[in-house]
Amino acid sequence: MNISMEISTLKGVGPKLSEKLNRCGIFTIYDLLLYFPRDYEFIRSDIDFNEIDGEEKQILSCRVIGYDRDIKTKTGKIITTIKFDYKGHIVVGKWFNQRYIKNSYRLNESYELVGKFKKVGNLLEVINPIIGCRDAKKSEIIPKYPLKGDLSDKIITKLINQILDEIVITDNLPEIMLEKYNMIGLDRAIREIHFPKDKNELDKALVRLKFQELFTYSMKLLLLKNNLRNKNGISFYWHKQLTNLKEALPFKLTEAQTKVVREILRNQKSNYPMNRLVQGDVGSGKTIVAIIAMFNVIKNGFQASLMAPTEILANQHYKETLKILEAFDVEVELLTGSTSLKEKKRIKERISTGEPIIVIGTHALIQEDVDFTNLGLVITDEQHRFGVEQRNKLINKGRRPDVLVMTATPIPRTLALYMYSDLDVSIIDKLPPGRKKIATKFYSENDRMLAYKLALDEIRKGRQVYIVCPLIEENEKMELNSVEKLYEELKDDVFKNVSIEILHGKMKPKEKDELINLFKEDKIKVIISTTVIEVGVNVPNASMMIIENSERFGLAQLHQLRGRVGRGEYESYCILIGNAKNQKTKKRMEIMVESTDGFYISEQDLKLRGAGEMFGIRQSGDIGLVLADIYEDIDILKCARYEANNLISSNEIEHVKLCREISNSIERYSRYICFN
Ligand code: ADP
Ligand code: MG
């Protein structure tokens, strides 16, 4: 069997099934083999009668002792009943609308029945049980796959079994490494992850495959870093006008900003390409740092480009850049999806002439026909919104340009070193002076009126207010509803004398922009929004944010959202409305109320949830980890990284070959993103 063949070449996979599998991201046999279960069902077997609880599925070896006559219910359903014996107790098995089920159960034969067995007096009752595996094992572990549509675990299981029957997987790690960490081989690990014999085997398989992922991941980052280190980049001298620019700024740079600017300028001067991550909490002033970096590059006669994840943000950066650099004779262009065709053409032509301009934009910047000829610096803002791929696309538009990525997602330092080990890290760890702590409160659903009253108070004082509703996953319609519903509720009621508008992801970029601009000009007092407002929008006059269903957000996201207020000179407030049903939610809301320090919050969030969930790493597919979690599996990561480092720095032929193989397999490896 050639596992790189299309899935449709597998026996029993027709066009229909093939399409369904495609929808789960499964295109080849290889993809299916690496389509790991999301979870497992553990079924206990052959337990004592008094241990049976009817809550969890169990597997009991039952012997057929008789059949009842079928019964028809009032609603027309047919109930078939078979009686069994289990350790001297009668088990009544009932099936709905499965008349022929009797043919599957022969008198006096024993079957491994799987189902929830309920005690009814001295009897056991089980509805729609199925036949489990035949050899009497202590327990059975049933894989649960992350499926879409009407695919069933049964089909996936069958197909994977079919594949495993025909192949042997050769190992891709050296024997010595496996022995050193007492890890099982790849073949066994893949078999066990799909069909674990027992919990112990499953754990071993997990360790092996997590190691695999983290090792590949480490290799990828280290190779990238090596690659960059060994190449010549552009050396930019420090332009004399930098001093003038600093003097002309509307504020004095904070110490933290100055330090980061210095780190960047030092990179710019060096012969090697810069590859730097700037981390700074919301409002710490990353934009100005980016502008200074771009300024120096332009003044050296090169082009600079800044990519933002949304049009709103690109626009804002564009305006800010124009304003700051107004007196310095610098050309700035804005290129986004909603730039008119004519404008686009003009800007693209300008870009391709190689004249030193700053180009700010969205994904539009990485389109094929955008042809930088003289690109010296690439900046991506809010890095966590982009994948590595997108970043690379922009980088590849130049010849080893300097690279700066900026993020407001505060990541504890140790973790950042591992996550972004291909990058040098700068941290803006202090906010500009005069910022007030954003007073945060948690209100239960019943007290929401109180929150709106406070909002009215703010509006009376001349301030503005955001109300944010959660994005309801995979259902844009519902998302829309929740914003629209709230809008309808409020506009003729609490806020009937106030200008109030809605903002959501389904609006055209242009409409969004117009709305934000009206808000900036204070022509709108209240914006009801989905999380599109999250990234970077800067309106200093907004002093209150109300977040509905706050329990649905991650802490990092709440922190980001809250950062939209408290940007001006006014006392600011954030009111979290929600349902603190369980302890964990309560704890999470308490963290938000008690602290406005992004790093503290992220560390607490990490403790409560694990890294994958927190950064949306898995969802974004940014680093291609499926089973491993950078935080929880930090011990495995350390070993994997150590080995990767060893391998890359050694010169043995075997190792070089392995390096190459791994870097080739990376594409593939980052593919199983579907796993959730
Ligand atoms: P973020 O790091 O979240 O991108 P911004 O760059 O948008 O933050 O900056 C937030 C606000 O702080 C902006 O209004 C900006 O003009 C202002 N700002 C930035 N640096 C300083 C500073 N050193 N002193 C005072 N205000 C500053
Ligand atoms: Mg920003």
Residue 654 pLDDT greater than 80, yes or no: no
Specify whether the backbone of 380 is left (phi greater than 0), alpha (psi in -120 to 50) or beta: beta
Ligand 1: nearest atom to the Cα of 381? 4
Ligand 1: nearest atom to the Cα of 563? 3
Distance 406 CA to ligand 2 centre (A): 8
Domain end position, chosen among 103, 131, 159: 131
Give the E-state strand segments of 422-578 in sequence order.
424-428, 439-444, 464-468, 500-503, 526-529, 542-547, 573-578
Residue 482 confidence (pLDDT): 79
Residue 474 confidence (pLDDT): 44
Please tell me whether residues 459 and 403 are part of one structural domain: no
Residue with tokens 């999806």: 337
Average pLDDT for 325-354? 94
Residue 670 confidence (pLDDT): 33
Please tell me whether residues 480 and 602 are part of one structural domain: yes
Ranges 34-38, 371-375, 414-418: which has the least confidence: 414-418
Beta bridge partners of 509: none
Q: For a substitution probing ligand 1, which of 284, 287, 322, 407 has the most ligand atoms within 8 Å of its CB? A: 287
Please tell me whether residues 419 and 451 are part of one structural domain: no
Distance 365 CA to ligand 1 centre (A): 25
Q: How far apart are CA 527 and CA 539, in angstroms?
A: 12
Average pLDDT for 538-543? 90
Ranges 141-145, 197-201, 223-227: which has the least confidence: 223-227
Q: For a substitution probing ligand 1, which of 310, 435, 538 has the most ligand atoms within 8 Å of its CB? A: 538
Residue 181 pLDDT greater than 60, yes or no: yes
- pTM of the predicted model, to two decimals? 0.63
Position 676 confidence tier, pLDDT thresholds 50, 70, 90: very low
Please tell me whether residues 502 and 485 are part of one structural domain: yes
Asked if residue 57 lies in contact with residue 158, where contact means CB atoms within 8 angstroms, the answer is no
Q: Which residue, judged by its Cα, is nearest atom 18 of ligand 1?
A: 285
Residue 583 confidence (pLDDT): 82
Please tell me whether residues 105 and 13 are part of one structural domain: no
DSSP 535-565: TT---TTEEEEEETTGGGS-HHHHHHHHTTS
Judge whether 22 lies within some domain: yes
For the stretch 466-512, pLDDT in tens is 999 886 544 555 555 578 888 988 999 999 989 999 988 788 878 88
For the stretch 202-228, pLDDT in tens is 999 999 999 988 888 787 777 766 666
Distance 517 CA to ligand 2 centre (A): 17
Q: How far apart are CA 643 and CA 107, in angstroms?
A: 59
Residue 359 confidence (pLDDT): 97
Distance 216 CA to ligand 1 centre (A): 38
Cα 369 off chain centre by? 29
84 backbone dihedrals φ, ψ, rounded to 5° = -130, 170
Instruction: List the CATH number of the domain containing 462.
Output: 3.40.50.300
Q: How far apart are CA 152 and CA 613, in angstroms?
A: 26
Asked if residue 77 lies in contact with residue 97, where contact means CB atoms within 8 angstroms, the answer is yes
Residue 481 confidence (pLDDT): 57
Token pair listed for 25: 């991201």
Position 189 confidence tier, pLDDT thresholds 50, 70, 90: very high
Rg (alpha carbons) of the chain, rounded to whole number: 30
Instruction: List the CATH number of the domain containing 108.
Output: 2.40.50.140
Domain end position, chosen among 609, 642, 671: 609
Q: Which residue has the higher pLDDT, 74 or 400?
A: 74
Residue 324 pLDDT greater than 60, yes or no: yes
Selection from 132-136, 291-295, 564-568, 582-586 with the highest mean pLDDT:
291-295
Greatest CA separation found in the chain? 97
Average pLDDT for 557-575? 88
Residue 669 confidence (pLDDT): 36
What Cα–Cα distance (Å) separates residue 65 from each residue in 80, 88, 338, 499?
15, 11, 73, 75
Q: Which residue has the higher pLDDT, 517 or 455?
A: 455
Residue 343 pLDDT greater than 90, yes or no: yes
What is the share, in percent, of the chain residues with pLDDT greater than 90? 41
Judge whether 155 lies within some domain: yes
Asked if residue 470 lies in contact with residue 548, where contact means CB atoms within 8 angstroms, the answer is yes
Q: For a substitution probing ligand 1, which of 288, 325, 559 has the most ligand atoms within 8 Å of its CB? A: 288
* Residue range of the domain that includes 588: 438-609
Distance 281 CA to ligand 2 centre (A): 9
Q: Which residue has the higher pLDDT, 430 or 192?
A: 192
Q: Which residue has the higher pLDDT, 141 or 298?
A: 298
Position 136 confidence tier, pLDDT thresholds 50, 70, 90: very low
Domain end position, chosen among 584, 609, 634: 609
Please tell me whether residues 469 and 594 are part of one structural domain: yes
Judge whether 231 lies within some domain: no
Residues that place a CB less than 5 A from ion ligand 2: 536
| 258 CB-near residues (< 8 Å, 6+ apart) | none
User: Which ligand sits nearest to residue 310's alpha carbon?
Assistant: 2
Position 289 confidence tier, pLDDT thresholds 50, 70, 90: very high
Judge whether 115 lies within some domain: yes
- Tell me the pLDDT of the chain averaged across its residues: 84
Q: How far apart are CA 589 and CA 574, in angstroms?
A: 12
Ligand 1: nearest atom to the Cα of 254? 23
Judge whether 568 lies within some domain: yes
What Cα–Cα distance (Å) separates residue 135 from each residue in 115, 132, 224, 429?
17, 9, 50, 61
Asked if residue 118 lies in contact with residue 128, where contact means CB atoms within 8 angstroms, the answer is no
Residue 456, judged by CB atoms within 10 A of its CB (0-12, 13-18, 19+), counts as: middle
Task: Tell me which amino acid residue 33 is.
Answer: L
For the stretch 68-109, pLDDT in tens is 999 998 888 999 999 999 988 999 999 999 888 888 899 999
Q: Which residue has the higher pLDDT, 419 or 196?
A: 196
DSSP 136-198: --SEEEEEE----TT--HHHHHHHHHHHHHH--PPP-S-HHHHHHTT---HHHHHHHHHS-SS
Judge whether 654 lies within some domain: no
Q: Provide, for the chain, the percentages of residues in helix, strand and coil under a 3-state DSSP scheme, each rounded to the nearest 5.
A: 45, 20, 35
Residue 667 confidence (pLDDT): 41
Q: Which residue, judged by its Cα, is nearest atom 1 of ligand 1?
A: 283
Q: Which residue, judged by its Cα, is nearest atom 15 of ligand 1?
A: 285
Residue 574 pLDDT greater than 90, yes or no: yes
Position 391 confidence tier, pLDDT thresholds 50, 70, 90: low
For the stretch 304-315, pLDDT in tens is 999 998 888 899
Please tell me whether residues 422 and 470 are part of one structural domain: no
User: Nearest Cα to 117, choosing from 202, 51, 18?
Assistant: 51
Residue 673 confidence (pLDDT): 23
Residue 619 pLDDT greater than 50, yes or no: no
Judge whether 619 lies within some domain: no
Token pair listed for 674: 């579907």
Please tell me whether residues 292 and 185 are part of one structural domain: no
Distance 481 CA to ligand 1 centre (A): 34
Q: How far apart are CA 614 and CA 605, in angstroms?
A: 7
Distance 287 CA to ligand 1 centre (A): 7
Judge whether 335 lies within some domain: yes
Asked if residue 160 lies in contact with residue 33, where contact means CB atoms within 8 angstroms, the answer is yes
Please tell me whether residues 289 and 399 are part of one structural domain: yes
User: Which ligand sits nearest to residue 288's alpha carbon?
Assistant: 1
| 185 CB-near residues (< 8 Å, 6+ apart) | 171, 178, 208
Give the number of domains in the chain: 4
Lining residues, ligand 1, CB within 6 Å: 251-254, 257, 280, 282-288, 408, 432, 536, 538, 567
Please tell me whether residues 421 and 442 are part of one structural domain: no
Asked if residue 279 lies in contact with residue 404, where contact means CB atoms within 8 angstroms, the answer is no
Please tell me whether residues 345 and 453 are part of one structural domain: no
Asked if residue 351 lies in contact with residue 303, where contact means CB atoms within 8 angstroms, the answer is yes
Residue 116 pLDDT greater than 60, yes or no: yes
Please tell me whether residues 272 and 182 are part of one structural domain: no
CA angle 93/99/105 to nearest 5° reads 50
Q: How far apart are CA 665 and CA 669, in angstroms?
A: 6
Distance 22 CA to ligand 1 centre (A): 45
Distance 321 CA to ligand 1 centre (A): 13
Residue 385 pLDDT greater than 70, yes or no: no
Ligand 1: nearest atom to the Cα of 434? 25
Position 383 confidence tier, pLDDT thresholds 50, 70, 90: low
Token pair listed for 97: 């609308």
Residue 545 pLDDT greater than 80, yes or no: yes
Kindly state the helix (H) or strand (E) to which residue 306 belongs, with its residue range. strand 303-307
DSSP assigned state of 441: E
User: Which ligand sits nearest to residue 306's alpha carbon?
Assistant: 2
Beta bridge partners of 544: 465, 573
Distance 178 CA to ligand 2 centre (A): 45
Task: Tell me which amino acid residue 440 is.
Answer: T
Residue 618 confidence (pLDDT): 40
